[in-house]
């Protein structure tokens, strides 16, 4: 047995400790693996496990490929050479990880005789750890690569790293910092990557990592009993679009169409909710509904918003810093909101209001600017109390200038949706008619995971109708049209925020062209081209406007003569195109009564195949006697 034991020890691979001062617990065969997936195949794999010895609940295990002693020695030598020979890249746009990988390959080829011989898989393992330690996040590299993680928290020495998983919520990992110096060095490295400074003199850090992840940290035991701590709130490289939020049920198409309408008319709203409820993600998604002609100024402490518009100015606060005996003044949100007014923006968007910048924002609303913001609160009543109290000090008469408010919350779902038993939902939408008068426009039904809306009673939509010189019925028809349009975008599979913004822009462009035709009627020979232009501008999934030249004439039955009959130009409900019929001036059944005594204006249009269409329009100034709506210029009927 002694000989066998010595033989086993000689042939067993010793564990290589890659990260000094960090304990990474190994996965045991007795653990039950609930789910596993790669974050960088084949070198980094994640396993969600359960085991009685680990305690209740799930645990997050990082499983990285291990280096042999020979591979580890080569890894250390390559890192040493790179620390001396690495030069700045000639291409400023190259990614750091990609550049270090190229340089590691160069060093391996240059010193191949002294570095040893390895298989292709062995070299790839070595290069993975080189990139992981030089440009990555060391022991937390796999966590930073995992798209399912929302935030990463270190609560101090000798306590496991906790993560918030999109599916399994808050769970501990198998990674623990055990050495004080290693932890301090790691936090200093994070601060330097954020272009910030942290020390015993300035032990609190609020910064943004190069990948736009938000970092909060404390240094040593100056303000934290357990030593250095940090929390990384991960930023999605691919942010949620409005279509994503509709798909996962945060809002529905009708609510999105409502905010599309009020954003178009420069109305203001705020999003309220608790920490991690999705306020910023919702605000960022709603920004894709803005017109591309709007001028936007965003004001934030840490840049998180990314509106898909070209005319956008991004302002960020700055903490004070000191050189020698002189120091500079901090630039806070209050200063930035004030200076943003000089930019003549259509919308001022504040990432989060919590202080005196709220007073300046409401002053901007009073001068005609649109304003959007988020705020930490669990109800509208608490929001009003915070706004009217120090340090915000917003006067009660200014409260109605914030036209609407949404409350978003993380909730338990009655049924699993996309494999999740919890999600984020807009619980309530209010319209703020006056101080103390808040009208519910929509609520989330927790029993059915659906939304109940009452936009027919919206006083904001009534204001929009009055300002546009139209009726509430017409605004509601436009709301329905935009709801259908958003549903068609969602069904088409488009979800990228930029692509969604382009579809929104296409809707505006199509409507402008249609309205131009109404105000500047084309000569009859060009009438057929109008329908063609409108149809080509529609998405493929959208019901197309039927081209007159492509309509099939009805064929007579055998032995039967075809009798000519008049055709109503008004499309059927199935062929109705959202927002286009009204813009082109095609009368609805409500607008045209067969028995009307109004003398119609006749015109003709010639199609490509030589056929002619006779059209009769309502004369200018005609008003529908039932609705009071102006229908002058609309087409009442036609004959082919």
Shared domain for 447 and 414, answered yes or no, is yes
Q: Among 482, 578, 484, 454, which Cα is nearest to 263's?
A: 482
Residue ranges in 580-625 assigned as alpha helix (H): 580-584
Tell me if 468 is assigned to some domain.
yes
Looking at the fold, whether 424 and 527 belong to one and the same domain comes out as: no
409: left (phi over 0), alpha (psi -120 to 50) or beta: beta
**Residues 394 and 359: beta-carbon distance below 8 Å:** yes
State the pLDDT at residue 567.
Answer: 41
Which of 465, 481, 497 finishes a domain? Answer: 497
Residue pair 139/178 in contact (Cβ under 8 Å)? The answer is no
**Are 484 and 579 contained in the same domain?**
no
> Does 74 or 511 have the greater pLDDT score?
74
Q: What pLDDT shows up at residue 406? A: 97
Residues 445 and 527 in one domain: no
Of the chain, the percentage scoring pLDDT greater than 90 comes to 62
Query: pLDDT tens digits for 414-426?
Result: 988 877 888 999 9
What average pLDDT does the chain have?
Answer: 83
Q: How many domains does the chain have?
A: 2
> What is the per-residue pLDDT for 15?
64
At 550, the pLDDT band (50, 70, 90 cuts) reads: very low
Banded pLDDT at 579 (limits 50, 70, 90): very low
Selection from 110-119, 392-401, 524-533 with the highest mean pLDDT: 392-401
**Same domain for 533 and 467:** no
586 forms bridges with which residues in the sheet? 635
- The more confident residue out of 218 and 577 is 218
474 within some domain: yes
Instruction: Answer yes or no: do 282 and 413 share one domain.
Output: yes
pLDDT 10s digits, 429-488: 999 999 999 999 999 999 999 999 999 999 999 999 999 999 999 999 999 999 999 999
Query: Comparing 249-258, 503-512, 547-556, which segment has the lowest mean pLDDT?
Result: 547-556
Q: Model-level pTM greater than 0.85? A: no
In angstroms, rounded to a whole number, what is the distance separating the alpha carbons of residues 451 and 2? 73
Tens digits of per-residue pLDDT, 608-637?
A: 556 666 777 777 667 777 666 667 666 777
432 and 527 inside one domain: no
- Residue-wise pLDDT for 510-544, tens only, equals 776 666 555 555 444 444 454 444 444 444 444 43
CA distances from 203 to 137, 218, 229, 546 (A): 21, 5, 10, 68
pLDDT at residue 325, as a whole number: 54
pLDDT number for residue 422: 87
In terms of pLDDT, which residue wins out, 585 or 123? 123
Predicted pLDDT of residue 330: 82
pLDDT at 140 over 80: yes
Judge if 483 and 573 occupy the same domain: no
Is residue 387 predicted with pLDDT exceeding 70? yes
Strands (E), 28-123: 32-40, 44-51, 55-64
- Radius of gyration of the CA atoms of the chain, in A: 32
As a whole number of angstroms, the distance between CA 500 and CA 482 comes to 13
Lowest mean pLDDT across 146-160, 387-401, 553-567: 553-567
Residue 528 and residue 410 share a domain: no
Is residue 246 included in any domain, yes or no?
yes
CATH of the domain at 435: 3.40.50.300
The pLDDT value recorded for residue 571 is 39
Are 312 and 367 within one domain? yes
Tell me the C-alpha distance between 422 and 412, whole Å: 4
For residue 312, being part of any structural domain is answered with yes
Is 493 in the same domain as 416? yes
Given a cut of 90, whether residue 127 has pLDDT beyond it is: yes
In a domain, 6, yes or no: no
Least confident of 215-224, 323-332, 377-386, 575-584: 575-584
Residue 287 placed within a domain: yes
Q: CA-to-CA distance for 499 and 187, rounded, in angstroms?
A: 38
User: Domain for residue 586, yes or no?
Assistant: yes
Q: Quick one: 482 and 587 in the same domain?
A: no
Question: Which residue from 403, 301, 389 is spatially nearest to 353, judged by alpha carbons?
Answer: 301
**pLDDT value, residue 553:** 42
Q: Do the domain assignments include residue 36?
A: no
Instruction: Show the domain range for 532.
Output: 521-549+566-639
> What 3-state class would DSSP assign to 101?
helix
The pLDDT of 23-36, averaged and rounded, is: 93
């Amino acid at each position: 047995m002694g000989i066998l034991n010595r033989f086993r020890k000689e042939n067993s691979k010793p564990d290589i400790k890659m990260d000094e001062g960090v304990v990474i617990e190994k996965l045991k065969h007795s653990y039950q693996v609930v789910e596993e997936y790669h974050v960088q195949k084949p070198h980094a794999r994640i396993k969600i496990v359960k085991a009685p010895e680990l305690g209740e609940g799930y645990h997050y295990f990082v499983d990285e490929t291990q280096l042999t002693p020979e591979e580890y020695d080569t890894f250390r030598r390559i890192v040493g050479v790179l620390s001396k020979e690495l030069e700045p890249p000639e291409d400023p746009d190259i990614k750091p990880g990609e550049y270090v990988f190229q340089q590691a390959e160069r060093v391996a080829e240059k010193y191949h005789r002294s570095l040893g011989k390895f298989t292709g898989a062995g070299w790839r393992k070595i290069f993975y750890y080189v990139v992981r330690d030089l440009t990555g996040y060391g022991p937390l590299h796999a966590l930073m690569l995992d798209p399912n993680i929302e935030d990463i928290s270190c609560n101090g020495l000798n306590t496991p790293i906790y993560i918030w998983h999109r599916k399994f919520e808050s769970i501990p990992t198998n990674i623990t910092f055990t050495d004080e110096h290693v932890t301090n060095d790691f936090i200093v490295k994070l601060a330097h990557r954020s272009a910030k400074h942290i020390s015993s003199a300035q032990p609190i850090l609020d910064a943004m990592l190069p990948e736009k992840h938000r970092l909060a940290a404390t240094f040593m035991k100056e303000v934290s009993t357990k030593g250095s701590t940090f929390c990384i709130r991960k930023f999605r490289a691919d942010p949620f679009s409005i279509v994503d939020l509709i798909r996962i049920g945060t809002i529905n198409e009708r609510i999105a169409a409502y905010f599309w309408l009020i954003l178009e008319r420069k109305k203001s709203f705020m999003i309220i909710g608790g920490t991690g409820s999705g306020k910023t993600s919702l605000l960022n998604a709603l920004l894709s509904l803005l017109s591309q002609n709007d001028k936007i100024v965003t004001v934030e402490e840490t840049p998180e918003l990314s509106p898909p518009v070209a005319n956008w100015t991004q302002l960020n606060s700055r903490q004070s810093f000191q050189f020698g005996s002189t120091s500079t003044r901090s630039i806070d949100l209050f200063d930035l909101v004030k200076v943003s007014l000089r930019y003549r923006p259509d919308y001022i968007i504040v990432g989060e209001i919590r202080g005196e910048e709220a007073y300046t924002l409401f002053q901007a609303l009073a001068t005609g600017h649109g304003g959007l913001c988020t705020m930490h609160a669990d109800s509208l009543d608490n929001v009003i109390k915070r706004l009217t109290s120090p340090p915000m000090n917003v006067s009660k008469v200014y409260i109605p200038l914030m036209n609407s408010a949404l409350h978003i919350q993380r909730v338990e779902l009655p049924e699993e949706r996309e494999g999740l038993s919890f999600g984020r939902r807009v619980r309530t939408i209010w319209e703020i008619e006056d101080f103390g008068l808040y009208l519910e426009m929509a609520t989330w039904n927790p029993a059915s995971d659906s939304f109940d809306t009452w936009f027919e009673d919206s006083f904001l939509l009534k204001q929009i109708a009055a300002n546009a010189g139209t009726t509430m019925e017409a605004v509601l028809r436009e709301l329905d049209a935009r709801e259908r349009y958003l549903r068609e975008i969602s069904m088409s599979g488009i979800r990228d925020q930029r692509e969604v913004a382009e579809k929104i822009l296409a809707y505006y462009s199509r409507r402008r062209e249609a309205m131009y035709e109404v105000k500047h009627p084309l000569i009859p020979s060009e009438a057929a081209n109008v329908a063609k232009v409108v149809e080509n501008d529609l998405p493929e999934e959208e019901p197309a406007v039927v081209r007159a030249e492509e309509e099939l004439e009805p064929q007579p039955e055998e032995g039967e003569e075809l009798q000519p009959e008049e055709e109503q130009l008004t499309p059927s409900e199935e062929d109705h195109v959202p927002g286009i019929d009204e813009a082109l001036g095609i009368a609805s059944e409500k607008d045209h009564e067969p028995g009307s005594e109004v003398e119609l204006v006749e015109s003709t249009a010639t199609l490509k195949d030589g056929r002619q269409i006779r059209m009769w329009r309502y004369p200018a100034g005609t008003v529908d006697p039932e609705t009071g709506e102006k229908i002058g210029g609309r087409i009442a009927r036609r004959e082919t």
